Amino acid sequence: MTVLLLAGCSWTQEQPSPSATPSQHSSLGADSEIGTHSAALGAVPAPTPPTRVQIPSLEVDVTVRPVGVEADGFMEIPPDVAVGGWYKYGSDPASDTGTTVIAAHVDSPKYGIGPFAALKDASVGAVVSVTSAEGVVHEYVIESVERIEKARLPLDEVFDREGAPRLALITCGGQFDYGTGHYEDNIVVIAIPTTP
Where are the chain's structural domains? Answer: 6-14+47-193
Strand partners, 183: 176
What count of Cα atoms within 13 Å lies in the side-chain half-sphere of residue 133? 9
pTM exceeds cut of 0.85: no
1 pLDDT exceeds 50? no
For residue 79, CA distances in Å to 19, 30, 84, 109 come to 33, 63, 9, 10
For 6-14+47-193, CATH number? Answer: 2.40.260.10
Categorize the per-residue pLDDT at 69 as very low, low, confident or very high, splitting at 50, 70 and 90.
confident
- 114 contacts: CB under 8 Å, gap ≥ 6: 81, 82, 104, 105, 106, 107, 108, 171
What count of Cα atoms within 13 Å lies in the side-chain half-sphere of residue 55? 22
**More confident of the two residues 31 and 165:** 165
- Cα separation of 68 and 52, whole Å? 17
For residue 117, CA distances in Å to 14, 42, 63, 138, 196 come to 27, 41, 15, 22, 29
Residue 15 pLDDT: 44
Give the mean model confidence (pLDDT) for residues 76-92: 96
What count of Cα atoms within 13 Å lies in the side-chain half-sphere of residue 148? 18
- Cα separation of 179 and 49, whole Å? 36
**pLDDT 10s digits, 111-141:** 999 999 999 999 999 999 999 999 999 999 9
- Cα separation of 189 and 84, whole Å? 14
Q: Tell me the one-letter amino acid at 181.
A: G
Residue 44 pLDDT: 58
84 pLDDT exceeds 90? yes
